[in-house]
Amino acid sequence: MTPPIRSLRYPSARPLLDGEHKHMEYFQVVCTEEFSLFFELPALENIILQGTLAEPALHHAALAIGALTSSRYHPDIWQTPPAIVFAIRHYSMAIQDLHRRLDGSSQSLELAVLTSVVFSYIEFLLGLDSRVEMHIQAGGAMLKNLYTRHDRTLAVSTQAGSNCQVGSLSTRYDLLASAMFQLAAQVNCSVAFRSNSNN
C-alpha cells in the first residue's frame, strides 16, 4: 500500500503535466526528508526544495528522483519500467537545463555543485555507481573553485569592512561541502562492501 501523500507542499517551478504531479508530490513529501537523513543535514531539505521551485534543472531532477524512488519502494503501484523511462527523460532534461544555466558565475557553480549531489542520487537509483563517483569528483572540483572565489571575496570584503553576505555564502558552501563529503563517504563504504562481498 502506498503511503498517504498530501498535496504539494510547494508549488512547482514549472506547470506539471499529466503523470508528473504524483512524482513531484512523492519527491517533496518523502525524498527530501530522506536527503536530510542520508546527509545528516536537515537544512539540505529546504535548499533542495527551494531549488526545485526556482531552477528547472532541479525541477526535472526532482521528478526523476520521485519516479525512481516511488517505484523502488512501491513497485506494485508504480511499475519500474515506465518509471525508469520517465526518470531518464526528466534526468536528460535536467542536464540540458543545467547546461543552459552554467555561465561561470558563482551562482551557476553553486547550482552545479547542488545538482551534482542530486544527479549522484539519480545515478545511484539507476544503479550506475561509476557515474556517481564522476558526479562526486566534478562537484568537489566545482566546490573547490567556489571556496577559492569565496576566499578572494572575503579578503576584499574584510578590507572594505563588510562581511554580512559573505558569511551566508560561507554557510551554504560549508553545507554543500558537508553533503559532498557525506556522499563520498557513503559511496566509498558501498564500494568497499561490494568488493568484500565478491571476495
Residue 102 lies in a domain: yes
Are the beta carbons of 129 and 191 closer than 8 angstroms? Answer: yes
The Cβ of residue 13 has, within 10 Å, a number of other Cβ atoms equal to: 19
Q: At which residue does the C-alpha cell 571556496 appear?
A: 147
Q: At which residue does the C-alpha cell 553533503 appear?
A: 179
CA triple 51-94-76, angle to 5 deg: 95
Residue 52 lies in a domain: yes
Are the beta carbons of 75 and 58 closer than 8 angstroms? Answer: no
Distance CA 144, CA 122 (A): 23
Could you tell me the residue range of the domain that residue 91 belongs to? 21-198
Residue 34 lies in a domain: yes
The total number of structural domains that make up the chain: 1
Instruction: Please write the tens of the pLDDT for every residue from 57-91.
Output: 999 999 999 999 998 888 776 666 788 999 999 99
Residue 32 lies in a domain: yes
Distance CA 16, CA 61 (A): 13
Residue 31 lies in a domain: yes
Band of residue 165 on the pLDDT scale cut at 50, 70, 90: very low
Residue 135 lies in a domain: yes
Residue 7 lies in a domain: no
Residue 148 lies in a domain: yes
Element (H, E) at 16: none
Instruction: Please write the tens of the pLDDT for every residue from 105-141.
Output: 888 888 998 999 899 989 988 888 778 888 888 888 8
Question: Which 8-state DSSP code applies to residue 30?
Answer: I
